[in-house]
Chain A
Amino acid sequence: MLQLIGKRLAQLVPTLFFVSVLIFSLQHLMPGDPALVMAGEERDPVVIEQIRKQYGLDQPIPVQYAMWIGKVLAGDLGESMRLKVPVSELVAQKLPVTIQLAVMAMLIALVLGVATGVLSAVKRNSAWDWVVNVVGLAGISTPNFWLGIMMILLFAVHLGWLPASGYVSPFEDLQRSLATTIMPAFVLGTAIAGVIMRHTRSAMIQALDSDYVRTARAKGLSERTVVWKHAMRNALTPVITLGALEFGTLLSGAVLTEQIFSIPGFGKLIVDAVFNRDYAVVQGVVLVTATTYIVLNLLADIGYILANPRLRS
């Protein structure tokens, strides 16, 4: 098992290298000259030239890459040209916000998705199954921003139960923190819950039709043990992988949702950075996101190995 995990870890290196090259080169394909943007109104060629020199923009691209990756490896993601703040500081500020949102959304998605998926597999072809599938499909296909706006209208504007926007850190005030994040987390979670529900349902149906479930019933086990122990354990492995991937997607910035609820997270950070051609921030954020995504993928693989005795030994 350790060998298998080691192998997956070794695969990380070329993947991350490739991702870094990609991020770096895409950046240079974007139209617009950052030196010009930074110079602002002042179009003095001397100033522009000085800016180029200061940020190494006058060097050949491979050299620029080498300079950049060298610093990244040392933990220095560069400095925001606009905010004059180290990118790592921005990341440290915004990432926890997005992580909180993603964890809450994932919890909502897992609880809703797995529970409804299992029940609809157990009661397949019943009215319940039908309702769950329709609602699930609606959850998948409803645009996040629309659901978000509707929730703000209902819970913030009409009922006044929740704040419409903003964010409070859970370390400051847990209750208010939950109040500000529950709506965006719900919006993000329901979309994923639909996907998880459908995967859980089909995996459970397969498991419930399997020979080992028949054996479990032949042992006289209660239907609850049969479903939640024997079938579930095997049906959940694909759901683990799916959950990890979806979690990665959540972390890469719930761009629209964060905009709507004015949550100062990763999504908002990257949108602002792209519009302002803040190279260093875009590179840093995308790199952190990609790395997180790849690491989560690895964790999903390890989880899969742990859940599967055939791979464990």
Chain B
Amino acid sequence: MSEAPILSVEDLAVGFTGPDGRRTRAVDGVSFSVAPGRTLGIVGESGCGKSVTSLAVMGLLPRTGTSVTGRVLFDGRDLLTESERTLRDLRGDRLAMIFQEPMTSLNPSYTIGDQIVEAIVRHRAVGKREAAERAVEMLARVRIPEPARRFHDYPHRLSGGMRQRVMIAMALACEPRLLIADEPTTALDVTIQAQILDLMRALREETGTAVVLITHDLGVVAEVCDDVAVMYAGQVVERAPVEELFRFPQHPYTVGLLGSLPRFDRARGRLAAIEGTVPDMSRPPAGCRFAARCPFRITRCETMPDLVEIGGDRATRCWRAPLEELAA
């Protein structure tokens, strides 16, 4: 990476205590960083801690029953030690987020214009009129037709794809330095997905915003990301530039994920699935969390491997890396 990262997460761990007193470690040992103008994909299956990680970065996790440790360095300051007040000043301004559910993420009782204006007025010393002009301009930038008219529409008048554009307009209205997008296209039709991804890519190029894109979809990763962090059972298990990851995956879980992608250039048969299930995170195994499902398992896997740099901007959490020799 050429530039200093705008966001650098180090050894992030999040634990929840349920009402029954049971502790669940949703995330631990998560480290990644993203530089201005670049897109980092965080991939993994449901429940692997992707969303919890993003909410922890934003400081949006519920405060009761939650413990967050590690460091979240944003623009040189550790967000985990900042006051709620400082975080509020950053959120929506230099740190923005869009969510998976465009249908429910906008308040049904206010016009989309009002909701964008609210974000601008909160962070910029501008009047309502000026903010409204800015909001219309943002709606135009996310390619919403007739933005000045749409400004007065309530969310229910818009389709899911249009609502996600509004969310993006709102998030980018104050020109954030980092945009976290949590499964932004999962709830949308495939054609709309492509449009939204194109839009995000174009806007990133225009604004130089760093993007953290959270997804379970490797197709989306290949499409828009520069770098990837693969998460499994609350940990980052592999980190790599995107082409490298697809060419030479260095963690057995990544290998399994790539193997489960349908491909046209192979004979039709059953899709490869990863055998077994994700471990219970209230009682995670002491060793490698993937060991129980791993075809390359050895006795050493009973102790937890670290996420180690293996050169070429890559890191993996596997005793047996590099995996090339095992392929035969």
Contact = CB atoms under 8 A, between A and B. Distances in A.
A310 B92 CA distance: 27
Interface in A203-221: 210-212, 214-221
A27 to B, nearest CB: 46
B109 A233 contact: yes
A260 B157 CA distance: 54
A222 B85 CA distance: 8
Contacts of A220: 87-93, 119, 122-123
A291 interface: no
Contact of B119 (A211, A219, A307, A313): A219
Interface in B47-64: 58, 60
Interface size class of B (residues with CB under 8 A): 20 to 34
Nearest to A213: B107
24 contacts: A125-B19, A211-B104, A211-B105, A215-B107, A215-B170, A217-B91, A218-B58, A218-B96, A218-B171, A219-B92, A219-B118, A219-B122, A220-B91, A220-B122, A222-B88, A233-B107, A233-B109, A233-B110, A234-B108, A309-B109, A309-B111, A309-B154, A313-B154, A313-B157
A310 to B, nearest CB: 5
B122 A310 contact: no
Contacts of B111: 309
| Chain A to chain B: the 8 pairs with minimum beta-carbon distance, closest first | A220-B92, A219-B92, A220-B91, A309-B154, A212-B107, A211-B104, A219-B119, A211-B105
Given A214-B60, A221-B122, A222-B88, A310 B154 contact: yes
Nearest to B101: A211
A123 to B, nearest CB: 10
Main SS of the interface on chain A?
A: helix
A230 interface: yes
Nearest to B87: A220
B135 interface: no
A313 B123 CA distance: 32
Interface in B269-316: none
Given A215-B170, A220-B88, 5 more contacts: A216-B107, A217-B91, A218-B97, A234-B107, A307-B109
Nearest to A311: B156
A216 B266 CA distance: 47
B104 A210 contact: yes
A123 B285 CA distance: 36
Interface string B110-139: 110001001100110000000000000000
B84 to A, nearest CB: 8
A218 B60 CA distance: 7
B101 A219 contact: no
B105 A214 contact: yes
A33 B119 CA distance: 72
B161 to A, nearest CB: 17
Given A218-B91, A310-B154, A212 B118 contact: no
